[in-house]
Amino acid sequence: MSNTTVANICFYLGSGAVIVDILYEVIRSRRNERARIIVCLILIFMAVVFFMLYFQLYTSMELFINRNVARTVGGYTIPTFYFMGLNGLWIIILSPFYALMYRDESCRSAARTPPSRRRCRWAFC
C-alpha cells in the first residue's frame, strides 16, 4: 500500500468521524442549540465556498494573462506575475487623489444623496 493510499484512508476515516460526531451532537442537543449548530454549519459551508472561489481568482487571472494578453513591450516579455501587482500599484498611485477628493466638501456634503457620494468616491475606479 502506498503512502497516498494510507493518507486517503486516514483522511476519509477522520472526515467520517467528524461528520458522525456533528450529527450526534445535532440529534442529542436541545431545540435552540440545534438551530445554532445548524446555522454554524451553514456559515462554515459558505466560508469554505467563498475561500475556494477567492483563491481561484489569482489562478484564473494568471491563466487569462498568459493566454490573452500581449505581454511584449519593445522586445521584452513582461512576466505574468508582474500583472498581479498592478492592483496594489494603482492603490498606491491613486490614494492621494482619492484623499483630496474625499476631503473636498462637494464629495462629503450632507445635502448629497448616498448614491451620488458613492459615485464621487468611485471616480477613480
What's the grid cell of residue 50?
467563498
Alpha carbons 35 and 91: distance in angstroms, whole number:
43
- What one-letter code names the amino acid at 31? R
What's the grid cell of residue 112?
448629497
Domain boundaries, the chain: 1-79, 85-125
> Which pLDDT does position 80 carry in this prediction?
85
Across 10-73, where does the E strand assignment appear? 72-73
> Which pLDDT does position 6 carry in this prediction?
93
Alpha carbons 57 and 60: distance in angstroms, whole number:
5
Q: What per-residue string of b and e applies to 26-52 under the rule 16 or more CB within 10 Å gives b?
A: eeeeeeeeeeeeeeeeeeeeeeeeeee
> Which pLDDT does position 78 carry in this prediction?
87
pLDDT in tens, 20-77: 999 898 899 898 889 998 999 999 999 999 999 998 988 898 899 889 988 888 889 8
Q: 72: which strand partners?
A: 77
pTM score of the predicted model: 0.54
DSSP classification of residue 88: H
Q: 76: which strand partners?
A: 73
Better-scored residue on pLDDT, 123 or 41: 41
Dihedrals φ, ψ of 98, to 5°?
Answer: -65, -40
Q: Tell me how far the alpha carbon of residue 121 is from its chain's centroid.
A: 22
pLDDT in tens, 95-111: 888 777 767 655 555 55
Across the chain, where does the E strand assignment appear? 72-73, 76-77
State yes or no: pLDDT of 82 exceeds 80.
yes
